[in-house]
Amino acid sequence: MKKTKVAESKILEHALVPKHEIMSEAEVKELLDSYKIRKAQLPKIKSSDPVCKEIKIKIVGKKGGKNKTAEQTKEKERTAEVGDIVKITRQSRTAGKVFSYRLVVE
């Protein structure tokens, strides 16, 4: 059975799939410090999970040396990798927005 690109690309748009975001290093540090935990203590999500394969994070870097303008920056995208923390935002009737966090594992 063939998988179509159309079906795969709409995973994140499905009504039952909550919003997933890859957290930046600064956000991860703040999260771990606020809960006084280590990454390994977070619940896990497999890197083979369809959502992990679809979510992307933009990485902004500078082209060349210092003193470059905003137009001279380069952007790359990458998917969730082992060791990343994924922030999941769900809507709840009773609690409003609920955040949960998952560590991406092999």
Q: Is 13 helix (H, G, I), strand (E, B) or coil?
A: helix
Name the residue among 75, 81, 80, 100 with its Cα closest to residue 89.
Answer: 100
> pTM of the prediction?
0.75
56-62 and 19-22 as β-strands: parallel, antiparallel, unpaired? unpaired
Residue-wise pLDDT for 62-92, tens only, equals 555 555 555 555 667 888 899 999 999 999 9
Domains and CATH numbers, the chain: 16-105 (3.90.940.20)
Decide: 65 and 57 in contact? Cβ < 8 Å.
no
pLDDT grade for 12, boundaries at 50, 70 and 90: confident
